[in-house]
Structure 1
Amino acid sequence: MAERARVAVLISGRGSNMAALIYAARAADCPFEVALVTGDRPDAPGLALAEAEGIEVERIAYDKSTFFQTLESLLSDKTIEIIALAGFMRLIPPAFIARWAGRIVNIHPSLLPRHKGLRTHEAVLAAGERVTGASVHLVSEEVDSGELLGQVEVAVLPGDTAETLAERVLIAEHQLYPRVLAQFVGRERDPAWIEARVGALALALPETSFKTSHGAPAWRVGSESSGKLFAILFNRHHGEDSVGVLVKASGQDEMAQLIDAEPEIYFRPAYYGPSDWIGIRLDRSNVDWDHVAEWLARSWRACAPPRLTKLLRAAEEF
């Protein structure tokens, strides 16, 4: 099986959602592993449970001025790829969120965007709602407002209190969180998701369109009759065990230097390599999509007709 994504779970209390993730990760086909459990309370009961289950635990005493710096160093040392919040009760600084953009997930006990923040069950009951639930989302600077990754509904029963409703929602959370986290981790290696991501970046460039090249998804710049391909999706073709995008390099020397320096990112694609196409591996964790966008723009420039590049240069100079 493919290498599993390394997840750090952050908790502040008993860690029941943490436990759900730990047990889900024991399935042979789970695409993630819980590599670390930590949080803002060294005495949190969930830490003892994680230790008993053989998970590496780090106890960090909370200090407002140093906690997130210490956490950042710890996550780097442990080569963590994804952070899963599971009852972590501290506000995360914007700078930390920016460094981990798209790689922090959280579970919230309501059907977002309804009832953000705390005391969600009380809010549901006060509003007289018949349905509530749980949501898994990416963390953004605005509380409980990042991209929704998955939800599950839970019925509100007559006579429910905040406590009885919380108990049932928690059961739903335990089912939802491992499934959605697995889907989220797995999508980074899904060729269809990769194609959609590359396509969105490629088609954002001027006068581009979708095309196929020998059956592979590709993108061209210019007219239908005279346009040139500037990006080709490469899905484990010709014996190469990678899903990636092919873009135009400046020549064979640059290709060789890049592949030699960073073989985990770049590869020389069979058949296309002699024509100065270099491959960028995309079926891996922590892809720098800004870097991919820069390569697509560079390849676009190399293939675009002079009238387009002339206009672009003029706009940049202006």
Structure 2
Amino acid sequence: MAERAKVAVLISGSGTNMAALLYASRLPDCPYEIVLVASNKPEAAGLRLAEAEGVRTFALPHKGMSREEHDAAMEAEVLASGARFIALAGYMRILSEEFVARWDGRMVNIHPSLLPRYTGLHTHQRAIDAGDSHGGCTVHLVTADLDEGPVLGQVPVAIQPGDTADTLAARVLIAEHQLYSRCLAALAAQGTSPEWLTAQVRARAMALPEAEETLSHGMACFGIIKGKKFAYVSSDHHGDGRVSLLVKISGLDEQEQLIESDSTRFFRPAHFGDGWIAIRLDHGETEWDDIAEWLQRSWTAVAPRRFAAMMEF
């Protein structure tokens, strides 16, 4: 199993959703671990629970601080914990646009309605008043627009005759506890999934001029139409247990230099010789702009001279 993704959870209260995420992370096949629970309220009950479970905690009241100052202090603690993802779990603070932008695609929230219906507060009463058949909950990526980020998952919850906002909320909370951990697990695993990683390479490789995809020895293989191959994506190639991009390089000297500079990222691919390097994709921190540059360089190495002008775009 790949190294588990580190997650920080921000709370402001009892932390029931944080607890659901935490206990789900203790299952043997969970792809994430909770490394920090932080709050803007030192008295938050969820902090005591996290401490009892041996999770690092941090609290900083926001009173007297600007939004940007408080966000910066919270983020510094998140980064110090090594977290790659942030889960908001009843965190009753609107985050600054700069904070949100820095965690684009890596910060999630759960909302007690079936978005896009009923953003904001009082969602259960609004669903009842509207005569809806169902309330529910939604896990979504956090964007600068409140409760409007891409939806990762939803669970509808039936509204029964005589329901109040409180009775409906109690059942929706059960659904939240089921949904949140599953969506977070899917997001955390995405960065190490062979299918997702291959799709990321494919999108960048196929954007290059005259590129085509084939299958070679069970690997996704990218080349120039009726020409040479410039990239492969290997998954457990010859039992190495890694998902990697294989691209062309200048030769043995460069191969040795790359491996010496970072042996956790670069390695010599079996049966490919001195003119190739393998770049690990499954460590969860891939810089995709860098991968695009490697693909472009490799394409250039095998492209006929008449294609050189195509790269001037």
Do both proteins adopt the same fold according to a TM-score greater than 0.5, normalized to the shorter chain? yes
Identity %: 50
Secondary structure at the residue paired with 2:58? coil
Runs of 4+ more than 4 Å apart: none
Distance 1:11 1:227, change over 3 A: same
Q: CA deviation at 1:97?
A: 2.1
From 60, 75, 90, give the equivalent of 2:78.
75
The equivalent residue for 1:141 is: 144
Say if 1:302 and 1:153 are closer, same or farther in 2 by CA, change over 3 A.
Answer: same
The residue number in structure 2 matching 1:180 is 183
Is 1:307 equivalent to 2:310 in the alignment? Answer: no
Residue range with higher mean Cα deviation, 83-92 or 138-147? 138-147
Q: What is the Cα deviation at residue 213 of structure 1? A: 1.9
**Are residues 118 and 270 of structure 1, via their aligned partners in 2, closer, same or farther at CA, if it must alter by over 3 Å?**
same
For the residue of structure 1 that corresponds to 2:38, the secondary structure is strand
Alpha-carbon contact 1:240-1:269 (below 8 Å) kept: no
Q: CA deviation at 1:114?
A: 2.3
- The aligned amino acid for 1:201 is R
Partner of 2:110: 107
- Give 2:120's aligned residue: 117
Q: How far has the Cα of 1:295 moved from its partner?
A: 1.7
Q: Which residue of 2 aligns with 1:127?
A: 130
Specify the alignment match of 2:9 in structure 1: 9
What corresponds to 2:294 in structure 1?
295
Letter of the structure 2 residue corresponding to residue 287 of structure 1: T
* Conserved 8 A contact 2:2-2:192: no
Give the match's secondary structure for 1:66: helix
Matched residue type, 1:280: I
CA deviation vs aligned residue, 1:179-208 (integer Å, no higher than 9, x gap): 221222122222122212221222222222
Distance 1:72 1:192 in 2: 31
What do residues 57-114 of structure 1 show as CA deviations (whole Å, max 9, x unaligned)?
Answer: 1112222242122122212221112111101121222222222222111111122222
Distance 1:44 1:206, change over 3 A: same
Query: Is the contact between residue 247 and residue 278 of structure 1 (CA under 8 Å) also seen in structure 2?
Result: yes
TM-score, normalisation: structure 1:
0.91
Match of 2:276 in 1: 277
Separation (CA, whole Å) in 2 of partners of 1:36 and 1:285: 18
Residue 21 of structure 2 corresponds to residue 21 of structure 1: yes
- Give the AA of the match of 2:52: A
CA contact (8 A) 2:3 2:283 kept: no
Q: Which moved more, 1:168-177 or 1:84-93?
A: 84-93
CA RMSD of aligned residues (A): 1.8
TM-score w.r.t. structure 2 length?
Answer: 0.92
Counterparts of 2:301 and 2:148, CA distance in 1: 39
What is the aligned partner in structure 1 of residue 87 from structure 2? 84
Superimposed CA distance per residue, residues 153-174 of structure 1 (whole angstroms, 9 cap, x where no aligned partner): 1111122222221111111000
State yes or no: 1:194 paired with 2:197.
yes
1:128-167 Cα shifts (integer Å, max 9, x gaps): 2112211112212222222222211111112222222111
- For the 8 Å contact 2:137–2:175, the answer to whether it is kept is yes
Establish whether residue 264 from structure 1 lines up as the match of residue 267 from structure 2: no
Matched pairs, number:
310
Aligned 8 A contact 2:41 2:61 in 1: yes
SS in 1 for 2:59: coil
* Superposition pairs of residues 57-68 of structure 1, within 5 angstroms: 57-62=57-62, 63-64=65-66, 65-68=68-71
Q: Secondary structure of the residue that 1:234 maps to in structure 2?
A: strand
Q: Match for residue 253 of structure 1?
A: 253
Opposite residue 165 of structure 1, the aligned amino acid is: L
- Summarize the Cα distance change of 1:39–1:147 in structure 2 as closer, same or farther, 3 Å threshold: same
SS at match of 1:238: helix
Distance in 2, matches of 1:258 and 1:99, equals 29
Aligned pairs for 1:235-246 within 5 A: 235-246=235-246
Query: Which structure 1 segments of 5+ residues have no match?
Result: none
Q: Give the letter for the 2:39 counterpart.
A: G
Gaps of 5+ in 2: none
Is contact 1:244–1:279 with CA below 8 Å preserved after alignment?
Answer: yes
| Distance of aligned partners of 1:123 and 1:293 in 2 relative to their CA distance in 1, 3 Å threshold | farther
CA distance in 1, matches of 2:10, 2:199: 31
